[in-house]
Structure 1
């Protein structure tokens, strides 16, 4: 038995506590420290892999950027050469191209106008059809009976003449 002032320790208790402590230390080392170290190592490898991948991607991007710049410079030089040749031959061809473009534009405008008019008429017809079915449904609900086909057509025609150009 050891005594330190008012505190006293028994050798058996002290030895038991040291054994328990060492046992707990071994268990923590086996079940906590090892797996944590493995997780940290995997994380370190993952981060290192991501960094190397990012570096590789950056180098590839720089190479692609240099290639694109080179191609852009070549395209600029080629376009300048084409423009120079075109300006030498362009005086007669320019007038022809402009007149053809104007004619094509006029044809496209006329075609677009006609198509737009057809679409408007189609939309009006669809709207009239929907309005007809809704009107018939509403009227049949109101008078609690269904109309036969002839009565329906007459009712619709009468309604459409009243509505007329409001659509």
Structure 2
């Protein structure tokens, strides 16, 4: 073998280094590589499991998010419905208040008209009495003692009745 090494122009150190390198590769292949391959496979399986778990958690989070969005939309719809009911109730109450105020105003107006009518009738009656009294005084001075007070009073009441039937 020395002759072959010499013929190729190689020295013993180089041959020993090549031999040691090949032995190292065999040793690594037999002893170290299986452990490294096993560790790499475990690492790959760990990463795949983490990715699968993360994907599952993402799906759960998305489902939970969708559930929360649905509940939020439901709450918004309920709030809108409550607002609409409150608005309608407010409008109804406003109408009731307005109608009550109108009825009260009509009642006050009717009472005022009745008061005015009573006062007018009272004033007319007082005016008739005053006219009658004045007429009696005037008639008594004119006629003196020829007509009695009762006769005068009857004549005045008849005159007022006729005058009262005339439009004012």
Q: TM-score, normalising length from structure 1?
A: 0.45
Larger radius of gyration: 2
Q: TM-score, normalising length from structure 2?
A: 0.45
Which one has more relative contact order, counting CA pairs under 8 Å at least 6 apart? 2
